[in-house]
Homo-oligomer: A and B are copies of this chain.
Amino acid sequence: MARMRIGLAQLNPIVGDIEGNTRRVREMIERGADSKIDLIVFTELVITGYPPKDLVLREQFVDRNIKAVNDLAEQSRYGPTAVVGFVDRNKENKGASLYNAAAVLMDGRIATIAHKSLLPTYDVFDEHRYFEPAESTTHFELSVDGRIHRIGVTICEDAWTDESCFAGRRYRRQPVAVLGNAGVDLVINLSASPFVVGKQMYREALIANHAKSIHRPVLLVNQVGGNDELLFDGASFVCDAAGKTVHRAAAFREELSIVELVEAGNCHGTLNAYPENIASIREALVIGTRDYVRKCGFENVVLGLSGGIDSAVTCAIAVEALGADNVLGVSMPSRYSSDHSVTDALALANALGIEIRTIEIHQMHTALENELASHFEGLPPGIAEENIQARIRGNILMALSNKFGRLLLTTGNKSEIAVGYCTLYGDMCGGLAVISDLPKTTVYDLARHINAHAEREIIPQSTIEKPPSAELRHDQHDQQTLPPYDMLDAILHHYVELDESVEDIIAIGIDEQTVRRIARLVDTNEYKRKQMATGLKITSRAFGVGRRMPIAAKF
């Protein structure tokens, strides 16, 4: 019986680092050769890293990525056949347009090149900005022990829709279906499919449907690691011809895993468990934080610790990502700070084993108030006075960041960023917003999970239990300004993630006045989010490149 051994190479490329990425592709191919595999499949645009964004508009960038693939091809004489994602030029118009492509490297040459047919241009994706769609599908033949295997090549979105999406549309047909009709033995898919909570189940169901409808196994290799706001979870997998997941690689780490195709439609592999939802969020934020910090060239980070839940969770993630020695916490109490704001911050630092410094803001606060007193005379105190304190803290944290070369982490959650319950240039200061896509209720869930996962109290119980407060005036509490967080998060889910109208949200039974007020807050705070730090995306709709709202607007 003819067997084919296939390697699924899920790498964590650095965007733009053509030389480094290519070197690691080469190492993986060599490891694959040692493991006697016949075919090794890499991820989408592995040579450039995904998404390369406007780097692909640079001629030299495309030149160098093509040269890298040609070099790899020469070295393919003795190793397994390799399928590698890269940016290809359209030769028909002298390179005036580009393709998102996969090169099949075999016997010392490029045997064929497949181009992506369906170009996602929604949410965080801009592929029509860069690429031209393929006109037709591509497959290649691979001879193993005298038997010829016909292997169809697809790239990410090509397999992301089923036939039903094409009804009434004017696109060409579904690429996997076309390959099935062409009689291939196997379809492979090179992916860079960003993590969203719960998405892996959807991915596997989708690929299972393809496999069942063409009666052939389908293999998907997914990128791993964080690139700016996008997190990739790996968890590459194979569905057999019956649509059963017979192989699943590890989630959230680099791996070369191997699956064996034993006869048409049957495969042997290894089934790694995919983490539960809340654990997947933790792992996604950990890899996203580690990769952003390291890929930006930093070793360590600094963040403010208020004793509250947001900074506590952010800090715990940072420690898991970078190690306790690389995280510095700063407590900055003011005249409005409660005692527990300091004690809870110290307890957290102690539990995590990180250094914490205390810097009083009283003197600076007074100096600023004195200087502004004559200008503010006769006006009641309000938001302006509250923000001043948050901005003094931002100034201190940035001074420490600049002085010691530590990246500043910002700690805002999705609920407060949505309604603008945060200070621009104050607590919004920082290079990376670790939990900016977590609604406040999820932040609490994650805090409890962090303690359960560690089997000890990392996030102080008092931090979890006390009512949340910005502590920018006496006896301030979030719920003086905002509705209860479970109601707020429900409204935001419908309004931001599902893009539903105010009327639709009222119709599901939430208080009309509250819905209207929150929707208006979301709309009018677009200007703050315009200037927010890069935030790690974990939901289907995060603030950032996937949500492009006008600022000077009225609706």
A binding-site residues for B, Cβ under 8 Å: 14-18, 20, 49, 51-55, 57-61, 90, 92-94, 96-97, 119, 121-122, 126, 128-129, 132, 135, 167-170, 226-228, 291-292, 295-296, 357, 359-361, 363-364, 366-368, 370-372, 375-376, 379, 382-385, 387-388, 391-392, 394-396, 398-400, 402-403, 424-425, 429, 431, 499, 501, 503-504, 527, 530-534, 545, 547-555
Q: Please name the residue on chain B nearest to A171 by beta carbon.
A: B132
A552 touches B387 (CB 8 A): no
A549 touches B54 (CB 8 A): yes
CB distance from A366 to the nearest CB of B (A): 8
The CA-CA distance from A51 to B360 in the complex, in Å, is 46
The CA-CA distance from A534 to B526 in the complex, in Å, is 11
B-side contacts of A366, CB under 8 Å: 367
Q: Please name the residue on chain B nearest to A386 by beta carbon.
A: B402
CB distance from A80 to the nearest CB of B (A): 28
The CA-CA distance from A176 to B366 in the complex, in Å, is 67
B388 touches A395 (CB 8 A): yes
Q: Please name the residue on chain B nearest to A533 by beta carbon.
A: B531
B-side contacts of A431, CB under 8 Å: 527
A–B complex contacts, Cβ < 8 Å, 5 sampled: A53-B548, A54-B547, A132-B169, A296-B552, A379-B403
Q: Please name the residue on chain B nearest to A20 by beta carbon.
A: B554
B-side contacts of A15, CB under 8 Å: 550, 552-554
Determine how many copies of this chain the complex contains.
2
B-side contacts of A368, CB under 8 Å: 364, 392, 395-396, 399
Given known contacts A391-B394, A399-B387, A228 and B552 CB-to-CB distance under 8 angstroms: yes
Q: Please name the residue on chain B nearest to A90 by beta carbon.
A: B168
Determine which of B16, B360, B375, B531 lies in contact with A357 in the assembled complex, contact meaning CB atoms within 8 Å: B375
B-side contacts of A499, CB under 8 Å: 54, 57-59
The CA-CA distance from A93 to B166 in the complex, in Å, is 10
A16 touches B555 (CB 8 A): yes
Q: Please name the residue on chain B nearest to A91 by beta carbon.
A: B168
5 nearest interchain CB pairs? Answer: A16-B555, A93-B168, A295-B552, A128-B128, A384-B402
B-side contacts of A364, CB under 8 Å: 364, 367-368, 371
The CA-CA distance from A227 to B552 in the complex, in Å, is 6
A360 touches B367 (CB 8 A): no
CB distance from A102 to the nearest CB of B (A): 20
B-side contacts of A503, CB under 8 Å: 60
The CA-CA distance from A531 to B432 in the complex, in Å, is 11
B555 touches A17 (CB 8 A): yes
With A58-B501, A387-B402 already in contact, 15 other A-B pairs whose C-beta atoms are closer than 8 Å: A15-B553, A54-B547, A60-B501, A92-B168, A121-B129, A126-B129, A132-B169, A132-B170, A292-B552, A295-B554, A359-B372, A359-B375, A363-B371, A387-B399, A425-B425
Q: Please name the residue on chain B nearest to A504 by beta carbon.
A: B60
The CA-CA distance from A94 to B28 in the complex, in Å, is 47
B-side contacts of A53, CB under 8 Å: 548-550
B-side contacts of A367, CB under 8 Å: 363-364, 366-367
Q: Please name the residue on chain B nearest to A495 by beta carbon.
A: B58
Q: Please name the residue on chain B nearest to A59 by beta carbon.
A: B501
The CA-CA distance from A371 to B391 in the complex, in Å, is 15
The CA-CA distance from A80 to B51 in the complex, in Å, is 50
